[in-house]
Chains A and B, each alone.
Chain A
Amino acid sequence: MNLSISIWDRNAECLPREEMRQLQLQNLQKTLTLVATKVPCYQAKFKESGFQPGDLKTLEDLSHLPFTTKEDLRVNYPYGMFAVPMREVVRIHSSSGTTGKPTVVGYTKGDIKTWTELVARFMTAAGVTEEDIVHIAFGYGLFTGAFGLHYGSEAIGASVIPISGGNTDKQLMIMQDYRSSALVCTPSYGLTLADRMEKQGIDPNSLALKFGLFGAEPWSEQMRIELERRLGIIATDNYGLSEIMGPGVAGECLYKQGMHLAEDHFLAEIIDPDTGVVLPEGSVGELVLTSLTKQAFPMIRYRTRDITRLHYETCECGRTLARMEKTRGRTDDMLIIKGVNVFPTQIEEVLFQIEGCEPHYQLIVDRENNMDSLEVQVEVNEHIFFDEMKQQRQFVVQAEKRLATVLGVSAKVKLVEPQSIKRHEGKAIRVIDRRTR
């Protein structure tokens, strides 16, 4: 395969491995010193482990430090993990959390600059140039997706259409009229657009679309084939999480041989999720990331819960950065529905808050018309059973409203008969995910 390859930051992206490790070590030492002086949570971790920033002689020494988890972020909600005073923070983003409280992250001016650069890198790798018109159909808001891609596009010099999410017909009209050439959205929304195009008789070849940059949801190779065929594009995957930075942590090039991880800014480890032991190169395990250059919200050994594998051989495109395989799933039972993190425990909490409701429940996640759907099946009991349909319906509507508020994504509540949810060795099976991975 011979593709025309463009590299945004050749110095960084093609740095020889040994130099990369040197750079990582220097920046890791700086980051550890920063958090040891500014962030109480990390001060406690250093104390607990008996390891001090000065003890770090090699990258491998990092394994002496404990992990940082979502729970640390929750305990330190909202600003407890920030390493700079608020006057230096220019942006706040957040993502949904396990207990209804979101995770709050902050950026300095410098962090936004880094973020912009890293998104420009993967967008360039995915084929976007200054000639492109980038159609950003991620929701603009607290979620990091839209802003990250927005900054990256502008840095490249492409024209941005910040259309945001929703209103599929309007998306298609703008796509046709404004000649959008690069589509940015979740893979499931990409298929929704394709469906609507077919319905309206729009020929994908009549559009200017060339590239699709999909992220914020796990998706399969099968889905890539479908997206490419039905939208007439080259589809690439990209990866990020708000705790680390947002999109830009890793992204595929046109060779689609894994997502190039921005190792000059993030140090990656693969661990055994059960024992926490660092696994040898080439192993499948949980991705753990440490930020190397972040100012406002440094993260040390953050457990992403994403299962993947890293490849270190130089890519055909010339980049030496490690390549991360598509994520294979999550170590915990967190679900990503329409790009939003959903935990079964959140749903449980909502149900328990409703008077008299201590239910057996099950989550059915499916993909209908290429959009994720969440159905919460609740076993009815005499406390939540009403003789009057009006009251019974009201119960359902109330539960759905509360779920939507807490989860940030809509859920259908379906009442089912007692004992109809299958138990496995006495325990109800909480999640049935029918989406293809």
Chain B
Amino acid sequence: MKVEQISIFIENKSGRLADVTGVLAESGINIRALSLADTSDFGILRLIVNDSKKALKVLREQRFTVSITDVIGIEVPDSPGGLTSLLQILDQNNVNVEYMYAFAEFSGDNAIIIFRFDNVDEAIAALSSHGIKILPSERITSI
């Protein structure tokens, strides 16, 4: 259920984002989802790709600082309040969202949101017990 997300340290200067995506493109790696957190000096680029092992390898070869983090993809009803009810479940179970970002694609009538939790396993258990659908990682990387 967990999805491997790749995080990359990038300095906040022009062209660096394109350098990363260029390296991935050259290796035929497709980006599924992306989020960028930044400060005035640096940013952390988070990617879901179709082949995380390969992406990790090529990025390291190009001397990028990278890490792998487990995240999960969740289907959220594409209607007002859809996200709220999900967040309430997490809150009741004391699971904290470290960050989250949305997929551009939809799964049927649902939106897909990527979450990073402080405790991934507890989050999965809490969500599953409430009938929330967690997407299999193959689904996500092959969207």
| B 8-21 to A, binary, CB cutoff 8 A, 1 in contact else 0 | 01110000100000
Which of these binds chain A: B38-46, B78-86, B101-109, B122-130?
Answer: B38-46
Partner of B39, one of A380, A381, A386, A393: A393
Interface centre among B39, B42, B44, B99 (most CB of A within 10 A): B42
Find out whether the CB atom of A415 lies under 8 angstroms from the CB atom of B42.
yes
* Binary contact readout A365-396 vs B (1 if CB under 8 angstroms, 0 otherwise): 00000000000000011100111111011000
Interface of A is mostly: loop
Q: Which of B63-88 contact A (CB under 8 A)?
A: 63-67, 69
- A389, A416, A418, A419 interface centre (most CB from chain B within 10 Å): A389
Report how far A420 CA is from B63 CA in the complex, Å: 10
**Most central of B39, B46, B65 by chain A CB within 10 Å:** B65
- Which residues from 23 to 38 on chain B have a C-beta closer than 8 Å to any C-beta of chain A? 37
Tell whether, in the assembled complex, residue A380 and residue B65 are in contact, meaning their CB atoms are under 8 Å apart.
Answer: yes
**CB < 8 Å: which of A381, A389, A414, A419 contacts B44?**
A389
Which residues of A lie under 8 Å from residue B116 when comparing CB positions?
387-388
The interface size of chain B toward A, counting residues with CB under 8 Å, comes to 21
| Minimum CB distance partner of A412 in chain B | B41
A355 at the interface (CB under 8 A from B): no
Main secondary structure of the interface of B (DSSP, over half): strand
A381 to B60, CA, bound (A): 11
CB < 8 Å neighbour of B65 from A389, A390, A393, A418: A418
Q: Is B98 an interface residue (CB 8 A)?
A: yes
Most central of B44, B46, B64, B69 by chain A CB within 10 Å: B44
Distance in Å: Cβ of A113 to nearest Cβ of chain B: 52
What string of 1s and 0s marks CB contacts (under 8 Å) between A408-435 and chain B? 0000001111111000000000000000
Write the nearest CB–CB distance from A75 to chain B, whole angstroms: 40
A382 near B67 with CB under 8 A, answer yes
Tell whether A415 pairs with B63 under 8 Å between CB atoms, given A380-B9, A387-B116.
Answer: no
A residues near B44, Cβ cutoff 8 Å: 386-389, 392
Whether the Cβ atoms of B65 and A381 lie closer than 8 Å is yes
B99 touching A382, Cβ below 8 Å: no
Give the residue name and chain of the B residue nearest to A381 (CB): B65
B7 within 8 A of A: yes
Question: Is B46 touching A387 in the complex (CB atoms < 8 A)?
Answer: yes
Q: By the criterion CB–CB under 8 Å, are A387 and B39 in contact? A: no
Contact partners of B63 in chain A: CB under 8 A: 417-419
Q: CA–CA, A417 to B98, complex, Å?
A: 24
14 contacts between A and B (CB under 8 A): A380-B65, A382-B66, A385-B65, A386-B67, A388-B44, A389-B37, A389-B99, A416-B42, A417-B9, A417-B64, A417-B65, A418-B64, A419-B63, A420-B11
Supply 15 further A-B pairs (C-beta < 8 A) apart from A386-B44, A388-B98, A388-B116.
A382-B65, A385-B7, A385-B67, A387-B7, A388-B99, A390-B98, A393-B39, A414-B41, A414-B42, A415-B41, A415-B42, A416-B11, A417-B10, A418-B64, A418-B65
Q: Using a CB–CB distance below 8 Å, which chain A residues touch chain B?
A: 380-382, 385-390, 392-393, 414-420
